[in-house]
Structure 1
């Protein structure tokens, strides 16, 4: 059975929550949302999903509980949430920028703003989803630090700080290196190491022998195609 690039991305996002247990998932964007819901329906049944306001919901959107704001904040600041954010820029140590492009005193482009990125990244696991892997996103140095990377956290100062993975339309990257620099962890089928390196503005750790992103099971494909996204919106997000 043919698997699309978008479906590999959904699988890679879902695997970010594998083994997390009862934590609040915070997917931002369509592909991460499909991944979180898929994880809940398959290998992470204890995962908590939210409508983004005050309710806990099932993968089909029906309500299963109330999440008061004070309880939400307790999860956020106590390591019990795992979000998957976007990034306008990411550097080799996982510093993220969603605020501006250029000098922040006179930016060339104004973006979302810092928002909750510092609190998110310092206080609970944060992964990233990048639908267009390019040197404009993966830069040597971000123009402004919003999400906090490994090089800015003194050892022991932020016990819940962790960047499990970065998923893009080309590959999966992580920080499983001695100096916590970004590593090419897997390639989506059809992508080469050379393509990923050419689309990254700094040298990636790891050699040339890179595995492929895992294949979805038949049941995972059925859930994606028939339950979660029967209209195929995922194919419009990933070329």
Structure 2
């Protein structure tokens, strides 16, 4: 089946949704964490966001084809991060209705039922620059009313901390294998923006442990263009690794 006739897979809709997180960002450092966010960032750089900066995860800036493009010393990396010129897409073991994220533990932190990664750089990331989230398996165990421990700072927590926490704080979107979400509501509670084609509202409701805003206005995630499909399938991810993260 050729690119021109093949229908987009669920994974490819997720790639498109992740890529859209960096639309109109200008010259910022895109830091995708995970396979599908990485494919999305590279797709955005090759198409509608050519000014994005991408790194090899160590000390180099890389170009659209993965070739070295420049040096990014750690001091400069930190300057971008602390000055609001970075947009990370992280994972989340839990995320709640105001965008608080947990990657540290499940249960009471003093005696957790499960120990996870720890907070890592999540607090600094969320307070200093844009942070979006990628959840490959949307479920009520991940989308919870209140996280067990705050790693990434949500809108309610940032507001409670005051201006020093809200200066650069922004969560543009959450992408899951079911849809796209944001916090563009009066109280900054999570809103359903779009469903991936083939997903129903009932599926999203069952997989979310709190009431979502915007369910009556939600659209469908946009279709990839033929050129975007070609880039995803033939250039950026020719081995189809995306389908291992989100199965067709």
TM-score by structure 2 length?
0.95
Instruction: Tell me which residue corresponds to 2:148.
Output: 143
Q: In the alignment, which of 216, 224, 228 is matched to residue 220 of structure 1?
A: 228
CA distance in 2, matches of 1:128, 1:140: 17
Q: Which runs of 5+ in 2 are unaligned?
A: none
Whole-angstrom CA distance in 2 between matches of 1:141 and 1:120 = 20
Who is 1:74 aligned against?
Answer: 79
Partner SS, residue 185 of structure 1: strand
1:59 corresponds in structure 2 to: 64
Partner of 2:195: 187
1:27 is matched with which residue?
A: 32
- Name 2:133's counterpart in structure 1: 128
Contact 1:193 1:210 in 2 (8 A): no
User: 45, 51, 58: which one pairs with 1:46?
Assistant: 51
CA contact (8 A) 2:191 2:215 kept: no
TM superposition score normalised by structure 1: 0.98
When the two chains are superposed, the root-mean-square deviation of aligned CA atoms in Å is: 0.9
Could you give the per-residue CA deviations for residues 133-159 of structure 1, whole angstroms, max 9, x where no partner exists? 000000011010000000011364322
Runs ≥4 residues deviating over 2 A: 154-158
Q: Could you tell me which of 217, 220, 245 is aligned with 1:237?
A: 245
Query: What is the CA deviation profile of residues 101-139 of structure 1, one whole-angstrom value per residue up to 9, with x for unaligned ones?
Result: 011111111101001000000000000000000000000
Where do residues 66-215 of structure 1 align in structure 2 (5 Å cutoff)? 66-154=71-159, 156-157=163-164, 158-215=166-223
CA distance in 1, matches of 2:215, 2:228: 30
| Cα distance in 2, alignment partners of residues 18 and 152 from structure 1 | 27
Whether 2:23 is the aligned partner of 1:18: answer yes
In 1, the alpha carbon distance for the partners of 2:93 and 2:188 equals 21
Distance 2:192 2:26 in 1: 26
Hey, what's the Cα distance between the residues in 1 that align with 2:215 and 2:34? Answer: 31
Deviation at 1:210, TM superposition (A): 1.6
Could you report, residue by residue, the CA deviation over 1:13-32 in whole angstroms, capped at 9, with x for unpaired residues? 00000000000000000000
For the Cα contact (< 8 Å) 2:104–2:116, is it kept in 1?
yes
CA distance in 2, matches of 1:106, 1:59: 46
Q: CA deviation at 1:207?
A: 3.2
